[in-house]
């Protein structure tokens, strides 16, 4: 099975930011990673609420797909923020991109 060529991270991030902004949402790069091969974490929310982080992971069929890695617990938000900070400290090539728009998963091909 051959691997599908990967878009440079900077191109993928720029496209996501433009798409979300064009649809009336807010998108911003929180942490800028390695331009070509950096890992991308997406912080999705709606009006700052229901924060969740998606990242692309290897799937059983050899492809890579988005999955929800972490959700903010509104009763105890600190572990969520600590987790994001640890991820950033562990991987300096990591991109963290916030997409604040209803049903943000649609921008990465997931239904809500």
Q: Is residue 67 part of a domain?
A: no
- Does 30 map to a domain? yes
Q: Output the pLDDT for position 2.
A: 47
User: What is the CATH classification number for the domain harbouring 100?
Assistant: 3.40.1530.20
40 in Cβ contact with 7 (< 8 Å): no
96 in a structural domain: yes
Four-CA torsion 112, 34, 85, 59, nearest 10 degrees: 40
- Whole-number pLDDT of residue 6: 78
Residue 95 structural domain: 9-62+73-105
For 48: left if phi > 0, alpha if psi spans -120 to 50, otherwise beta; the answer is: left
Specify the pLDDT at position 1: 45
pLDDT at 47: 96
Per-block mean pLDDT, blocks of 10 residues, the chain (112 long)? 73 97 97 94 96 94 92 97 96 96 95 74
**pLDDT on residue 4:** 62
pLDDT, residue 54, reads 98
Residue 95 within a domain: yes
């Amino acid at each position: 099975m051959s691997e599908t060529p990967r878009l440079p991270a900077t191109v993928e991030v720029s496209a996501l930011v433009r798409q979300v902004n064009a649809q009336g949402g807010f998108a911003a790069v929180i942490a800028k990673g390695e331009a070509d091969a950096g890992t991308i974490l997406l912080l999705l929310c709606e009006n700052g609420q229901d924060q969740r982080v998606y990242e692309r992971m290897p799937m059983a069929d050899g492809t890579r797909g988005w999955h929800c890695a972490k959700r903010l617990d509104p009763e105890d938000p600190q572990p969520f923020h600590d987790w994001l900070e640890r991820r950033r400290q562990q991987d300096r090539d990591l991109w963290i991109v916030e997409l604040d728009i209803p049903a943000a998963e649609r921008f990465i091909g997931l239904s809500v």
